[in-house]
Structure 1
Amino acid sequence: MLISPSNLQPFPLSKTNINPIPTTFSTSNNPPKWPRPCTYNAFSSTQDALAWKMNESWRVERDIEENGEKIFDVKDLSTCWKEIHGEDEWVGLLDPMDPLLRAELIRYGEMAQACYDGFDFDPYSKYCGSCRFSKDDFFMGLEMEDHGYDVTRYLYATSNINLPNFFRKSRWPKVWSKNANWIGYVGVSNDEKSKQLGRRDITISWRGTVTRLEWVQDLMDYLRPISSKGIPCPDPDVKAELGFLDLYTDKDILCRYCKYSAREQILSEVKRLLEVYKDEEVSITITGHSLGSALAILSAYDLAETGIHLGYDGRVSPICVYSYSGPRVGNVRFKERLEWLGVKVLRVLNVHDLVPKTPGLLFNEHSQKGLMYMANSLPWSYYHVGVELALDHKNSPFLKDTNDLTCLHNLEALLHLLDGYQGRGRRFHLCGRDIALVNKGCDFLEDHHMIPPSWRQDANKGMSRTNDGRWIQADRSVHDDHPEYTHHHLQQLGIIPHH
């Protein structure tokens, strides 16, 4: 299919002469290879193409000169999904920005944002700390049916750990749970979506924090061996931050929602889904924002280390993490082990956001090699993993020049930056995403756009009127806790002993 740029309609800009957005990215030296379905040659100039709104089903593959006008050959996502999924560490896709990769990053970012939009943060709700929708109605309740995924399991974590600012609890005495919080979900693409994607996609989305960043202060900044928390690893020097490990592995056997750890919930559900779709090509895509990004990387490592993604017939389900504004997770041995296992990680961040700079403010991948060699044994020596795509909110003409940490860390704002990013040295130009979404939970848009700050609110704060005219907080349906098959799959994995 050939598309001429002359037929493409540009989207208007409110300002011109915008500074280019700088990006930095790094790759591992010897990334594992998968069969390459296609090659990609980025177009040399964005003047002919940066105004068109790219549908997620298409991607630009090459450009040719014809009659003095550039013509773009467009290819289906289903034939190139492994490249978008990181088979070659996204080389050649970030600068200039590949339109299909942009669309996929925004789509998976929206699936992470759904963890915020579906979460009940209201301390005056007896359901505070839970999801506002049942898993069968999750995407419908958020008006996201077109994403083409079905939620198969909700994820819960116990609040009895040393990250109190991450959890939300109701002020009322009668609540849905005293010791649990909903922290995400597992979903799988339906048949129609799988056809578009070129494979069945298992997606794990982790919740982070929305407006408050106090959880960063709760980090003990102390590395602990992965193996000390039951995650199989032959190298005791592979370490991760203790708070992340606790959140991922701790459980409360007296709580119906946390009798299995988040780790056990993930492993059992992914194992079950891989058995259900054992005759199909399957990918595992994990996404999360903020602290949820740390959980995404940690769970990806665990899935790969456990070997769940390795089929009996030799088929491998590739694991990819799309991380948004995430902190560092582990030490250099963790980074090296993750790369050796073949996990692909693409980290998107705002260069002015402080969260990706923690933990490891003193000793990290930017420190001198000699200093890091001596500091590697210290309990506060951290390294980022994967490929970095660094964006700058100051290059968007729609955003305020602010130092508000909440704005700089906001996921919707980051998706806005992704929508306008065209590559290093190229002007910021939106590709169609509604700018009003930026102010959904913060005050980041310039005032002349007349979008009120934090405009997303639950109708009447969850109160509803009865037939006799009284206002009450209506009951919600009881969510599923843990399916009966959980214990069976954990026994097969050797995580729970046979009785």
Structure 2
Amino acid sequence: MAIPLPVMVSSLKGQVSIAFPSKKPAPPPLLCQKSQAELEILKLATRRKVITRVLSERNEFMASIITDLNIEEEQEMEEIEEEMRAKTESDNNERRIAESWRKIHGEDDWIGMLDPMDPLLRFELIRYGEMAQACYDGFDFDPFSKYCGSCRFNRRRFFERLGMTSLGYEVSRYIYATSNINLPNFFMTSRWPKVWSRNANWIGYVAVSNDETSVRLGRRDITIAWRGTVTRLEWIADLMDYLRPVSSDKIPCPDPSVKVESGFLDVYTDKNKNCRFCKYSAREQILTEVRRLIQQYPNEELSITITGHSLGAALAVLSAYDIVETGLNLTEDGRSVPVNVFSFSGPRVGNLRFKERLEGLGVKVLRVVNVHDTVTKVPGLFFNEHVPEFLQKMADGLPWCYSHVGVELALDHKNSPFLKDTNDPTNFHNLEAHLHLLDGYHGKGKRFVLSTKRDIALVNKAADFLKDHHLVPPFWRQDENKGMVRNYEGRWVQPERPKLDDHISANWF
């Protein structure tokens, strides 16, 4: 029988051994050593490539860091240079304001300052407009609040709570009016059975510039800011729309033909002796505080600036007239303190004789209006300053013949590329929109370009006026959780506010 595997038979010391060959023959020793060397070389080459790549990546990373640092340094330098330029420009503006504040406040009736728009005047108009806007931002409109109709903040922290400390003013007095008059859409009332007051509403404040700001402005500035209507325009329909002599409300005017819309007079002069906050009329509160402040700074240069929006603009004009008519702006040494008004979207206030008397007394009024705003066209829709003068004089005895006062600065919201095309009249009347238009206005027919980089988002604070692609939600301003907080029991409640300031007595009369 054949043996299937090859067999090698050898004789060794008398023994027989059978050897089977290996399945894989062992390589020659020299070939094995060469492959091992090549393997080591390959490992070294791979390691070198890895190291080279790591070093390259590290160098690129370091280079990118250096580049980013250089970019950041350049940006920081640019920001520092921009801040320095802005500070230099601000310092120059401050020096110019201190030197030319009388012109800014209408000494020459703003001739040559409106077209083209004077940048300092624009800056000051926006600043006083923001002081009027503060009346809205500080007012409690919520009927579910027990403090509805009051100011949300303590007088001493008013500008601080609104983020306006850089303004450099201190509120010296709050102004209240009785709500028992025929303007229900202007006054707000709470639904709570127990409220801070059933007869009063907070309608503005008196503020005075601090020492540092007074140096910057070139005088001590007394500012009166009046609240108006933030969105609703129904108050126009509540006006009695007839003229009444100002002398009938104890304003010492020698001419009985000087007349003012009766609803405005009511807000300004009415009071409720049983109410802690409107025991004295708004008029008495204003005159008392202005006199006190003038006496407090007897040897300083002073100015009285009054601002307001909407119905507040009408009250601003009326109070400015009253201050000068009563001679309250005269100091003990015989100097006359300049009185001027920066009004925003204000209605007509009185008749032609009121206009003539006010301007004859030297009160300067600059009215900022949106040409599409209906509020500025009332009262006196048919008989007003636009009819021929002879016809206006003939109709002057009628109870519905009105005239605007002062100088008008007309703006058009359709010139702003930021605002949407809308037919909502409350947008045309919105104060923040007016301040936006001021920021971009350079003169009639000139391109709309923002000058002070004022945040356009403010337009939508209490409106829906910005174009949608700016991605600013409408009506975005509100208190966190609408003012509700958790008490010690974990329940959501309205917090108690600090005790309202005692209302200062009016001792003018």
TM value normalised by structure 2: 0.82
* Alpha-carbon distance change, 421 to 57 in structure 1, aligned in 2, over 3 angstroms: farther
The answer for the alignment partner of 1:16 in structure 2 is none
Partner of 1:362, secondary structure, is: coil
The answer for the alignment partner of 1:104 in structure 2 is 124
Amino acid at match of 1:330: G
Query: 1:462 aligned to 461, 483, 500, which one?
Result: 483
The answer for the alignment partner of 1:30 in structure 2 is none
Equivalents in 1 of 2:170, 2:328: separation in Å? Answer: 21
Equivalents in 1 of 2:280, 2:91: separation in Å? Answer: 38
Deviations 1:211-248 (A, max 9, x none): 10110001111000000011010000000000000000
2:427–2:464 CA contact under 8 A, matched in 1 = yes
Partner of 1:164, secondary structure, is: coil
Deviation at 1:311, TM superposition (A): 1.1
Query: 1:195 aligned to 215, 219, 225, which one?
Result: 215
**2:471 is equivalent to residue 450 of structure 1:** yes
* Alpha-carbon distance change, 57 to 263 in structure 1, aligned in 2, over 3 angstroms: farther
Equivalents in 1 of 2:334, 2:319: separation in Å? Answer: 22
The answer for the alignment partner of 1:26 in structure 2 is none
**Which consecutive residues of structure 1, in runs of 5 or more, have no partner in the other structure?**
1-8, 10-51, 60-73
The answer for the alignment partner of 1:478 in structure 2 is 499
Equivalents in 2 of 1:481, 1:291: separation in Å? Answer: 26
Equivalents in 2 of 1:54, 1:439: separation in Å? Answer: 32
2:95–2:216 CA contact under 8 A, matched in 1 = no
Percent identity over the alignment is: 70
**Which consecutive residues of structure 2, in runs of 5 or more, have no partner in the other structure?**
1-77, 79-85
Query: 2:187 aligned to 159, 164, 167, which one?
Result: 167
Amino acid at match of 1:142: L
Deviation at 1:53, TM superposition (A): 11
Amino acid at match of 2:302: V
**2:240 is equivalent to residue 220 of structure 1:** yes
Deviation at 1:483, TM superposition (A): 2.0
RMSD: 1.6
Equivalents in 2 of 1:434, 1:54: separation in Å? Answer: 22
**2:338 is equivalent to residue 310 of structure 1:** no
Partner of 1:166, secondary structure, is: coil
**2:288 is equivalent to residue 273 of structure 1:** no
How many residue pairs are counted as aligned between the two chains? 425
Deviations 1:307-363 (A, max 9, x none): 011112121110010000000000000000001110000000100000000000010
The answer for the alignment partner of 2:437 in structure 1 is 417
The answer for the alignment partner of 1:39 in structure 2 is none
Q: Which moved more, 1:86-95 or 1:474-483?
A: 474-483
The answer for the alignment partner of 2:386 in structure 1 is 366
The answer for the alignment partner of 1:336 in structure 2 is 356
The answer for the alignment partner of 2:34 in structure 1 is none
In the TM superposition, 1:177-256 aligns within 5 A as 177-256=197-276
* Alpha-carbon distance change, 108 to 56 in structure 1, aligned in 2, over 3 angstroms: farther
Partner of 2:485, secondary structure, is: strand
Equivalents in 1 of 2:341, 2:499: separation in Å? Answer: 31
Query: 2:312 aligned to 288, 292, 299, which one?
Result: 292
Equivalents in 2 of 1:471, 1:131: separation in Å? Answer: 22
In the TM superposition, 1:346-365 aligns within 5 A as 346-365=366-385
Partner of 2:174, secondary structure, is: strand
Equivalents in 1 of 2:329, 2:183: separation in Å? Answer: 30
TM value normalised by structure 1: 0.83
Amino acid at match of 1:92: G
Deviation at 1:54, TM superposition (A): 10
Deviations 1:153-209 (A, max 9, x none): 000000011111100000110100000000000000000100100000000000000
Partner of 2:148, secondary structure, is: coil
Deviation at 1:368, TM superposition (A): 2.3
In the TM superposition, 1:388-427 aligns within 5 A as 388-427=408-447
Amino acid at match of 1:192: E
Deviation at 1:124, TM superposition (A): 0.2
Equivalents in 1 of 2:423, 2:384: separation in Å? Answer: 24
Deviation at 1:55, TM superposition (A): 5.6
Partner of 1:303, secondary structure, is: helix
Partner of 1:345, secondary structure, is: strand
In the TM superposition, 1:62-101 aligns within 5 A as 76-101=96-121
Equivalents in 2 of 1:197, 1:118: separation in Å? Answer: 25
Deviation at 1:132, TM superposition (A): 0.2
In the TM superposition, 1:11-50 aligns within 5 A as none
Q: Which has the higher contact order (CA 8 A, sep 6+)?
A: 1
Larger radius of gyration: 2
The answer for the alignment partner of 1:115 in structure 2 is 135
2:271–2:279 CA contact under 8 A, matched in 1 = yes
Amino acid at match of 1:190: N
Deviation at 1:58, TM superposition (A): 3.8
* Alpha-carbon distance change, 90 to 224 in structure 1, aligned in 2, over 3 angstroms: same
* Alpha-carbon distance change, 366 to 479 in structure 1, aligned in 2, over 3 angstroms: same
Equivalents in 2 of 1:164, 1:186: separation in Å? Answer: 24
* Alpha-carbon distance change, 139 to 225 in structure 1, aligned in 2, over 3 angstroms: same
1:56–1:100 CA contact under 8 A, matched in 2 = no
